[in-house]
């Protein structure tokens, strides 16, 4: 409960430093990552965090408890309320890495959480810049040194994706602007972005901008649903274990599978001869796009949010898909689909050369 007795405002004895066991589980939930982002911006109460999330405050108490038990946040102050009640105001905890006596699990948990925190810090810095503020980032990862100027040049989603998809949790990684551009252009522009653009354009033209109804899923769709269900389950396992590169690889695999299905089903080829079959293919592919955005949200929230909004999904924190197979095989249609501009603009050779020169001393 947020309100509690004034006795809680008595001086507290300092709690012992929390171990790093369970840290990966605390960071496995997208909502808890978002809560940490807001607390990095400023200390907030559960009531204020609820306003940020657009959720009732009682939905957050469990998640705040998980973050506090993991040693990621702490109570910064107790704020007085009406009728003698007070509320807790949370802030990121001042934590220290495990010492020399740490076991391998504690060390691995710390290293994994550092990369997750890097992604959150990039997001917070980008939002601060968009709001007219400034948030400094001094990140060292191999030869990569990320600065505020780098965020001004390229969207935070690009940096976040590249770091999570390429940086080992327990080692350094070599960085170059050309490698960064090639990797992010391929994954975000070619694999996912191109899938979204060509499918949405087809649906807008062939089905009047709506998710098509009609037709029944065939054996091809049923096999696909089972396969994707397994991928989503593996992806969740990777997130819970803070296996970030594997999580990014599984996310990319879901996008690639969606591309392969769309190419094989080819609804544009059957639209005139068998409209019901084309409707099934387009509807299934659109469901895959929606699913691909949901599972990618914790890594590329801005890009994923744009995709979700074209389906009319304005949820600030999308719910993890619990029954992906059922969602892919659903036969209901009619939901409007908005046209969408290209998700990611590829970097030209001239831009790569310019950025290479500009960030020769580190980005």
210 within 8 A of 337, measured Cβ to Cβ: yes
Same domain, 186 and 281: yes
Q: What is the mean pLDDT of residues 10-14?
A: 40
**Based on the structure, what is the number of domains in the chain?**
2
Residue 25 within a domain: yes
Number of H helices, E strands in the chain: 16, 5
**pLDDT for the residue numbered 243:** 84
CATH number of the domain that 196 lies in? 1.10.730.10
> What 8-state DSSP symbol labels residue 279?
H
Of the two residues 273 and 82, the one the predictor is more confident about is 273
Residue 76 has pLDDT above 50, yes or no: yes
Residue 253 within a domain: yes
Same domain, 76 and 218: no
- Closest Cα partner for 283 from 229, 324, 333? 333
Same domain, 61 and 191: no
Q: What percent of the chain has pLDDT over 90?
A: 37
- In sequence order, the 6+-apart residues with CB closer than 8 A to the CB of 90 are 39, 43, 44, 45, 46, 49, 64, 68, 73, 74, 75, 76
**pLDDT for the residue numbered 93:** 84
Of the two residues 150 and 66, the one the predictor is more confident about is 66
Cα–chain center distance at 290? 14
Mean pLDDT of the chain: 80
Report pTM. Answer: 0.62
Domain that holds residue 261: 178-329
- In sequence order, the 6+-apart residues with CB closer than 8 A to the CB of 289 are 195, 196, 199, 200, 258, 307
Virtual torsion, Cα 147, 149, 151, 153, nearest 10 deg:
-140
- CA dist., res. 170 & res. 34, Å (int): 24
Q: What is the mean pLDDT of residues 157-183?
A: 79
**pLDDT for the residue numbered 137:** 45
- In sequence order, the 6+-apart residues with CB closer than 8 A to the CB of 98 are 19, 20, 106, 107, 110
Residue tagged 């070599």 (tokens): 174
- pLDDT tens digits, 29-47: 778 888 888 898 889 999 9
- pLDDT tens digits, 92-141: 887 555 555 555 555 555 555 555 555 655 565 566 666 665 544 444 33
Residue 258 within a domain: yes
Confidence band, pLDDT 50/70/90 cuts, at residue 23: low
């Amino acid at each position: 409960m947020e309100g509690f007795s004034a006795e809680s405002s008595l001086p507290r004895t300092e709690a012992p430093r929390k171990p790093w066991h369970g840290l990966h589980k605390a960071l496995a939930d997208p909502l808890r990552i978002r809560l940490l982002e807001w607390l990095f911006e400023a200390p907030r109460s559960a009531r204020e965090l609820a306003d940020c999330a657009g959720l009732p405050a009682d939905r957050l108490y469990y998640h705040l408890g998980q973050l506090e038990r993991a040693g990621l946040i702490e109570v910064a102050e107790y704020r007085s309320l009406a009728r003698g009640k007070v509320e807790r105001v949370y802030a990121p905890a001042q934590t220290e890495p495990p010492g020399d006596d740490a076991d391998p699990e504690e060390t691995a948990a710390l290293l994994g959480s550092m990369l997750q925190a890097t992604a959150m810090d990039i997001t917070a810095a980008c939002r601060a810049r968009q709001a007219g503020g400034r948030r400094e980032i001094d990140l060292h990862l191999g030869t990569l040194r990320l600065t505020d100027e780098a965020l001004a040049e390229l969207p935070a989603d690009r940096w976040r994706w590249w770091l999570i998809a390429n940086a080992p949790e327990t080692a350094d990684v070599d960085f170059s602007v050309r490698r960064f551009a090639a990797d992010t252009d391929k994954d975000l522009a070619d694999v996912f972005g191109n899938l979204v653009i060509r499918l949405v354009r087809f649906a807008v033209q062939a089905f009047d901008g709506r998710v098509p109804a009609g037709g029944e899923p065939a054996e091809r769709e049923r096999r696909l649903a089972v396969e994707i269900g397994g991928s989503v389950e593996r992806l969740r396992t990777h997130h819970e274990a803070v296996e970030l590169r594997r999580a990014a690889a599984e996310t990319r695999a879901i996008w690639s599978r969606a591309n392969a299905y769309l190419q094989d089903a080819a609804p544009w080829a059957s639209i005139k001869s068998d409209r019901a079959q084309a409707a099934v293919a387009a509807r299934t592919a659109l469901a895959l796009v929606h699913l691909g955005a949901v599972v990618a949200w914790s890594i590329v929230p801005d890009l994923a949010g744009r995709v979700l909004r074209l389906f009319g999904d304005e949820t600030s924190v999308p719910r993890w898909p619990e029954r992906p197979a059922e969602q892919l095989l659903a036969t209901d249609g009619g939901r409007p689909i908005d046209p969408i501009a290209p998700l990611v603009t590829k970097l030209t050779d001239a831009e790569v050369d310019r950025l290479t020169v500009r960030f020769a001393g580190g980005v």
